[in-house]
Amino acid sequence: MNKNLIAGDWVEGSAAVADINPSDLSDTIGDFAMADKDQTQEAIAAARDAASSWRDSGIQQRADVLDRIGTEILARKEELGTLLSREEGKTLPEGIGETVRAGQVFKFFAGEALRIPGTNIDSVRPGVTAEVTREPVGVVGIITPWNFPIAIPAWKIAPALAYGNTVVFKPAALVPATAQALAQIIEGAGLPAGVFNLVTGSGKEVGEAIVSSPQVDAVSFTGSVATGRAVLVGTAARQAKVQLEMGGKNPLIVLDDADLDIAVECAINGAFYSTGQRCTASSRLVVTQGIHDRFVARLTERMEALVVDNALKPETQIGPVVDESQLGQDLEYIDIGRAEGANIVTGGARVEREANGFYMAPTLFTETSNSMRINREEIFGPIASVIRVRDYDEALAVANDTDFGLSSGICTTSLKHASHFKRYSSAGMVMVNLPTAGVDYHVPFGGRKSSSFGPREQGPAAVEFYSSTKTSYVYA
């Protein structure tokens, strides 16, 4: 059985989970150890014990370790990317691309470890100096979803280690193989025992044990809104630091003056790549009436040409849905949309392929209104809705009329509308003539409203969550 990493030892779990390839249900990747509450407590205790020595380890050691991890991930991108695609179902280029991103994130934070910010300025009292420094928070609990099995763990673990924290990492139970491969690389880079711990397991056992432990100083979570709110309540009750990245219902506006080719490609990429299983996916296509019919016709044509198949086949453009329960949820929303009066132009059903997997045809709803459930709730599948609007003003109002606020996009050749949208979109990330998904690692990632809570992730912004400010005064 594949194991968990606790206090520097690879240990058996209390149970095992079979890791199944969603492209081919006859392919089992392996049986992975599931930790329980007690093992989670052991991992937390190990991280606590290791905290003071890691805190004082020195920035060169941290930079070197992170750099080695990044180098190893990049050197093994084909192998790791293939494992990721086999386990999660995104296409091979996407799996390898995500792996490269994870390597780049570790390299970036290797540099950031050497640039921990601080200031030294005069106090308003003559002769007194004020110094602002950053210190590690302590033990960080990291809880991640299945849709980016290596990139999201990387963008949480790398800054946690860079700023001198120790880590208890709980990946989603659907993607234990990628998590374990990453943990092996991290361990192999020469970290002292206990600085980094892996506990694969369920949210109820392992996740809740991390959230409620008084020994965990901060929790960084990415996942659903409902779970994120539970994490928020659990951490708030004991005043732990918390950072949440949750869902999206991201609008992509297409204006009459848009370049049609760019708009269609933005929609194809934003709505359907990674099987639509991205919190930044463009699930609401808000289209002005002058371009509406041409846009829908061209988009439908492109969607029907997309190759939906086994993630590991080179010609595949859209892999399977991740598992049976997610596929069931996607199909349920197809029924909900139909019952609400939306029109299905293409897709709307499960499809069969050579191997038995969770395949679904990319689906486009038209004649939808923004008040329908399919436009209010995150579906997390290869499904998008077109909402027809009169003009830019209505498009902006519809785009912002959502409980979410992660990402938004506009396709237009008008500088005036692009500039206005950048300013008035109520999302944390705004794209002009680009897909709503696909963000860089050296700038902040995060949203507003129900999408996010707490300091931003990635780039230099990560220092805010993964460190604690100290203000010192000296009179000498």
Give me the residues that bind ligand ADP (CB under 6 A), please: 143-146, 170, 172-173, 202-204, 207-208, 211, 223-224, 227, 230-231
Please identify, using beta-carbon distances, which residue of 181 and 291 lies nearer to ligand ADP. 181
Q: Where are the beta strands (DSSP E) in 123-224?
A: 128-136, 139-143, 166-170, 196-198, 218-222
User: Three-class SS of residue 280?
Assistant: coil
* Burial category of 238 from C-beta neighbours within 10 Å (exposed 0-12, middle 13-18, buried 19 and up): exposed
Please identify, using beta-carbon distances, which residue of 212 and 400 lies nearer to ligand ADP. 212
Catalytic pick among 112, 279, 411, 464: 279
**Does residue 279 carry a catalytic annotation?**
yes
Shortest spacing between CB 301 and ligand ADP, in angstroms: 32
Going by C-beta distance under 8 Å and a sequence separation of 6 or more, which residues neighbour residue 278? Answer: 147, 148, 437
Shortest spacing between CB 192 and ligand ADP, in angstroms: 26
**Chain centroid offset of residue 254 CA:** 25
**Measured at the alpha carbon of residue 452, what is the angle toward residues 201 and 410, in degrees to the nearest 5?**
125
Cα(140)–Cα(48) distance, integer angstroms:
10
> By the 8 A CB rule, do 448 and 405 touch?
yes
Cα(221)–Cα(244) distance, integer angstroms:
5
Distance of CA 161 to CAs 2, 165, 392, Å?
24, 5, 45
Catalytic pick among 245, 265, 378, 464: 245
Structure tokens at 86: 């086999």
Counted residue by residue, the chain has a size of 476
Distance of CA 165 to CAs 47, 57, 468, Å?
9, 11, 11
Shortest spacing between CB 246 and ligand ADP, in angstroms: 8
Shortest spacing between CB 380 and ligand ADP, in angstroms: 7
Neighbours of 400 (CB within 10 A): 16
**Does residue 266 carry a catalytic annotation?**
no
Shortest spacing between CB 71 and ligand ADP, in angstroms: 27
Shortest spacing between CB 446 and ligand ADP, in angstroms: 17
Please identify, using beta-carbon distances, which residue of 392 and 445 lies nearer to ligand ADP. 445
Nearest Cα to 143, choosing from 244, 44, 222, 228? Answer: 222
> By the 8 A CB rule, do 91 and 315 touch?
no
Shortest spacing between CB 277 and ligand ADP, in angstroms: 9
Catalytic residue positions? 245, 279
